[in-house]
Copies of this chain bind each other. A is one copy, B any other.
Amino acid sequence: MKNVILEARKIKKSFDQDQVLNLDIVKVYEAAFNFLLGPNGSGKTTLLNILSMVDTDYQGEVFYRGQLMGKQEGEILEFRRRFSVIWQNPYLFKGTVKANIGLPLKFRKSSPDIIEEKVKKMADKLDISHLLAKRSGELSGGERQKVSIARALITEPEVLFIDEPNTSLDYESSRYFNGLFSELVADGVTVLLITHDLYQIQNLADYITVLNDGKVVNQGTSEQVDF
Protein backbone atom coordinates (compact mmCIF):
# COMPACT_ATOMS: atom_id res chain seq x y z
CA MET A 1 0.00 0.00 0.00
CA LYS A 2 1.33 3.40 -0.97
CA ASN A 3 1.53 6.54 1.19
CA VAL A 4 -1.40 8.91 1.31
CA ILE A 5 -0.28 12.26 -0.09
CA LEU A 6 -3.63 14.09 -0.01
CA GLU A 7 -6.59 13.40 2.20
CA ALA A 8 -9.91 15.22 2.28
CA ARG A 9 -12.18 14.88 5.31
CA LYS A 10 -15.83 15.87 5.74
CA ILE A 11 -15.83 18.07 2.66
CA LYS A 12 -19.05 19.97 2.01
CA LYS A 13 -19.52 22.35 -0.87
CA SER A 14 -22.62 24.23 -1.99
CA PHE A 15 -23.44 26.56 -4.84
CA ASP A 16 -26.13 28.95 -3.64
CA GLN A 17 -28.52 26.50 -1.98
CA ASP A 18 -27.51 23.32 -3.79
CA GLN A 19 -25.14 21.03 -1.98
CA VAL A 20 -22.99 19.38 -4.65
CA LEU A 21 -20.41 17.68 -2.44
CA ASN A 22 -20.85 15.88 0.87
CA LEU A 23 -17.89 13.57 1.39
CA ASP A 24 -16.61 11.59 4.30
CA ILE A 25 -13.04 10.71 3.36
CA VAL A 26 -11.19 10.78 0.06
CA LYS A 27 -7.57 9.68 -0.19
CA VAL A 28 -5.01 10.28 -2.93
CA TYR A 29 -2.01 7.92 -2.92
CA GLU A 30 1.53 8.99 -3.65
CA ALA A 31 3.29 7.93 -6.86
CA ALA A 32 0.11 6.21 -8.02
CA PHE A 33 -2.52 6.58 -10.70
CA ASN A 34 -5.61 7.74 -8.76
CA PHE A 35 -8.86 7.76 -10.71
CA LEU A 36 -11.94 9.85 -9.95
CA LEU A 37 -15.02 8.47 -11.65
CA GLY A 38 -18.74 9.21 -11.72
CA PRO A 39 -21.55 10.35 -13.96
CA ASN A 40 -21.88 13.89 -15.34
CA GLY A 41 -22.59 16.42 -12.65
CA SER A 42 -21.58 14.11 -9.81
CA GLY A 43 -19.03 16.60 -8.46
CA LYS A 44 -15.71 15.37 -9.85
CA THR A 45 -14.45 18.70 -11.13
CA THR A 46 -15.64 20.40 -7.95
CA LEU A 47 -13.61 17.96 -5.85
CA LEU A 48 -10.57 18.38 -8.07
CA ASN A 49 -10.74 22.14 -7.51
CA ILE A 50 -10.65 21.58 -3.77
CA LEU A 51 -7.89 18.96 -3.70
CA SER A 52 -5.69 21.03 -5.98
CA MET A 53 -6.24 24.00 -3.62
CA VAL A 54 -7.62 26.14 -6.40
CA ASP A 55 -10.95 26.44 -4.59
CA THR A 56 -10.61 27.28 -0.90
CA ASP A 57 -14.24 28.11 -0.30
CA TYR A 58 -15.49 24.84 1.20
CA GLN A 59 -16.28 23.26 4.54
CA GLY A 60 -14.05 20.49 5.84
CA GLU A 61 -10.35 19.74 5.87
CA VAL A 62 -7.68 18.82 3.37
CA PHE A 63 -4.37 17.27 4.50
CA TYR A 64 -1.17 17.24 2.50
CA ARG A 65 1.25 14.60 3.82
CA GLY A 66 -0.65 14.68 7.08
CA GLN A 67 -0.49 18.46 7.42
CA LEU A 68 -3.73 20.47 7.51
CA MET A 69 -3.89 22.87 4.63
CA GLY A 70 -4.92 26.49 5.29
CA LYS A 71 -7.42 28.36 3.21
CA GLN A 72 -5.52 31.64 2.96
CA GLU A 73 -3.78 32.55 -0.29
CA GLY A 74 -0.40 33.16 1.34
CA GLU A 75 -0.23 29.85 3.21
CA ILE A 76 -0.92 27.56 0.30
CA LEU A 77 0.94 29.16 -2.57
CA GLU A 78 4.06 27.05 -2.11
CA PHE A 79 2.00 23.85 -2.01
CA ARG A 80 0.02 24.86 -5.03
CA ARG A 81 3.28 25.32 -6.89
CA ARG A 82 4.03 21.64 -6.45
CA PHE A 83 0.78 20.84 -8.25
CA SER A 84 -0.40 21.24 -11.82
CA VAL A 85 -3.86 20.98 -13.29
CA ILE A 86 -4.88 19.99 -16.80
CA TRP A 87 -8.39 21.33 -17.14
CA GLN A 88 -11.48 20.06 -18.86
CA ASN A 89 -11.87 22.73 -21.64
CA PRO A 90 -8.58 24.48 -21.00
CA TYR A 91 -8.37 28.25 -20.84
CA LEU A 92 -5.49 29.64 -22.87
CA PHE A 93 -4.30 33.19 -22.29
CA LYS A 94 -4.16 35.75 -25.08
CA GLY A 95 -0.82 35.66 -26.83
CA THR A 96 1.29 32.95 -28.36
CA VAL A 97 1.39 29.27 -27.54
CA LYS A 98 4.99 29.76 -26.49
CA ALA A 99 4.05 32.41 -23.93
CA ASN A 100 1.26 30.17 -22.62
CA ILE A 101 3.53 27.20 -22.02
CA GLY A 102 6.24 29.30 -20.39
CA LEU A 103 3.92 31.21 -18.09
CA PRO A 104 4.07 28.91 -15.01
CA LEU A 105 7.85 29.18 -15.10
CA LYS A 106 7.62 32.95 -15.38
CA PHE A 107 5.47 32.92 -12.25
CA ARG A 108 8.27 31.01 -10.55
CA LYS A 109 10.74 33.65 -11.74
CA SER A 110 12.81 31.39 -13.96
CA SER A 111 15.17 33.29 -16.24
CA PRO A 112 14.01 33.91 -19.83
CA ASP A 113 16.79 31.69 -21.18
CA ILE A 114 15.78 28.74 -19.07
CA ILE A 115 12.12 29.28 -19.95
CA GLU A 116 12.96 29.40 -23.64
CA GLU A 117 14.95 26.21 -23.39
CA LYS A 118 12.42 24.26 -21.34
CA VAL A 119 9.51 25.31 -23.55
CA LYS A 120 11.41 24.18 -26.63
CA LYS A 121 12.20 20.82 -25.09
CA MET A 122 8.64 20.26 -23.93
CA ALA A 123 7.21 21.25 -27.31
CA ASP A 124 9.58 18.86 -29.06
CA LYS A 125 8.59 16.07 -26.75
CA LEU A 126 4.84 16.60 -27.29
CA ASP A 127 5.29 17.22 -31.01
CA ILE A 128 3.78 20.71 -31.00
CA SER A 129 6.84 22.73 -31.98
CA HIS A 130 5.08 23.89 -35.15
CA LEU A 131 2.43 25.58 -32.98
CA LEU A 132 4.73 27.66 -30.76
CA ALA A 133 4.36 30.87 -32.77
CA LYS A 134 0.58 30.55 -33.18
CA ARG A 135 -1.80 32.70 -31.13
CA SER A 136 -3.97 30.84 -28.69
CA GLY A 137 -7.17 31.67 -30.58
CA GLU A 138 -5.94 29.98 -33.72
CA LEU A 139 -5.69 26.40 -32.49
CA SER A 140 -7.82 23.36 -33.25
CA GLY A 141 -9.57 21.59 -30.37
CA GLY A 142 -6.90 18.91 -29.98
CA GLU A 143 -4.07 21.41 -30.34
CA ARG A 144 -5.49 23.46 -27.45
CA GLN A 145 -5.56 20.38 -25.30
CA LYS A 146 -1.94 19.52 -26.10
CA VAL A 147 -0.78 23.04 -25.32
CA SER A 148 -2.54 22.93 -21.98
CA ILE A 149 -0.85 19.61 -21.17
CA ALA A 150 2.55 21.05 -22.04
CA ARG A 151 1.83 24.04 -19.81
CA ALA A 152 0.96 21.76 -16.89
CA LEU A 153 4.00 19.52 -17.28
CA ILE A 154 6.59 22.25 -17.68
CA THR A 155 6.92 22.78 -13.92
CA GLU A 156 7.61 19.07 -13.29
CA PRO A 157 4.83 18.86 -10.71
CA GLU A 158 4.77 16.55 -7.74
CA VAL A 159 1.02 16.04 -8.11
CA LEU A 160 -0.76 16.24 -11.45
CA PHE A 161 -4.51 16.75 -11.62
CA ILE A 162 -6.08 15.84 -14.93
CA ASP A 163 -9.71 16.46 -15.89
CA GLU A 164 -10.59 14.35 -18.95
CA PRO A 165 -7.39 14.69 -20.91
CA ASN A 166 -8.38 12.62 -23.92
CA THR A 167 -11.15 14.98 -24.81
CA SER A 168 -10.44 16.14 -28.37
CA LEU A 169 -7.26 14.12 -28.74
CA ASP A 170 -6.80 11.90 -31.74
CA TYR A 171 -6.10 8.20 -31.32
CA GLU A 172 -2.35 8.51 -31.63
CA SER A 173 -2.07 11.38 -29.20
CA SER A 174 -4.39 9.69 -26.79
CA ARG A 175 -2.19 6.65 -26.68
CA TYR A 176 0.91 8.77 -26.41
CA PHE A 177 -0.39 10.68 -23.41
CA ASN A 178 -1.61 7.57 -21.66
CA GLY A 179 1.93 6.26 -21.95
CA LEU A 180 3.42 9.54 -20.81
CA PHE A 181 1.24 9.76 -17.71
CA SER A 182 2.14 6.16 -16.80
CA GLU A 183 5.81 7.00 -17.10
CA LEU A 184 5.33 9.97 -14.82
CA VAL A 185 3.69 7.77 -12.21
CA ALA A 186 6.52 5.31 -12.51
CA ASP A 187 8.91 8.20 -11.90
CA GLY A 188 7.14 9.03 -8.62
CA VAL A 189 4.59 11.62 -9.70
CA THR A 190 1.15 11.42 -8.15
CA VAL A 191 -1.64 11.62 -10.73
CA LEU A 192 -5.30 12.23 -10.07
CA LEU A 193 -7.29 11.63 -13.22
CA ILE A 194 -10.95 12.24 -14.04
CA THR A 195 -12.18 10.26 -17.00
CA HIS A 196 -15.10 8.48 -18.59
CA ASP A 197 -12.81 6.39 -20.78
CA LEU A 198 -13.15 2.67 -20.09
CA TYR A 199 -9.84 1.88 -21.72
CA GLN A 200 -7.96 4.19 -19.39
CA ILE A 201 -9.77 2.88 -16.35
CA GLN A 202 -9.10 -0.74 -17.17
CA ASN A 203 -5.46 -0.31 -18.07
CA LEU A 204 -4.09 2.50 -15.93
CA ALA A 205 -5.93 2.83 -12.62
CA ASP A 206 -4.18 2.00 -9.34
CA TYR A 207 -6.78 3.48 -7.00
CA ILE A 208 -10.32 4.44 -7.82
CA THR A 209 -12.85 6.73 -6.15
CA VAL A 210 -16.38 6.73 -7.55
CA LEU A 211 -18.67 9.68 -6.91
CA ASN A 212 -22.39 9.86 -7.39
CA ASP A 213 -24.51 12.86 -6.61
CA GLY A 214 -21.76 14.41 -4.51
CA LYS A 215 -21.09 11.33 -2.40
CA VAL A 216 -18.40 8.65 -2.49
CA VAL A 217 -20.15 5.44 -3.52
CA ASN A 218 -17.07 3.27 -3.95
CA GLN A 219 -13.37 3.51 -3.16
CA GLY A 220 -10.34 1.24 -3.28
CA THR A 221 -7.73 -0.34 -5.50
CA SER A 222 -8.74 -1.07 -9.06
CA GLU A 223 -9.24 -4.72 -8.17
CA GLN A 224 -11.56 -3.91 -5.28
CA VAL A 225 -13.76 -1.40 -7.00
CA ASP A 226 -16.61 -2.40 -9.23
CA PHE A 227 -17.17 0.64 -11.42
Contacts and interface: CB of A to CB of B under 8 A. Distances in A.
A167 B170 contact: no
Contacts of A198: 171
Nearest to A172: B39
A57 B205 CA distance: 46
Given A40-B169, A167-B167, A170-B196, 16 more contacts: A15-B138, A39-B172, A39-B173, A40-B146, A40-B168, A40-B173, A41-B142, A45-B140, A45-B141, A89-B89, A164-B167, A164-B168, A167-B168, A168-B196, A171-B196, A171-B198
Interface in A173-212: 173-174, 196, 198
Given A174-B196, A196-B174, A41 B167 contact: no
Interface in A126-157: 138-143, 146
A21 to B, nearest CB: 12
A102 B65 CA distance: 49
A169 B89 CA distance: 13
A89 to B, nearest CB: 6
B171 A141 contact: no
Nearest to A127: B40
A209 to B, nearest CB: 15
Interface residues of A, number: 28
A168 B89 CA distance: 9
Nearest to A199: B198
Contacts of A89: 89, 141, 168
B141 A164 contact: yes
A88 B143 CA distance: 13
A142 B39 CA distance: 9
B196 A40 contact: no
Pick from A15, A38, A39, A140 the residue with the most CB of B within 10 Å. Answer: A140
17 contacts: A38-B170, A39-B170, A39-B173, A40-B140, A40-B169, A40-B170, A41-B142, A45-B141, A88-B141, A141-B163, A141-B164, A164-B167, A167-B167, A167-B168, A168-B196, A169-B196, A171-B196
Nearest to A163: B141
A89 B168 CA distance: 9
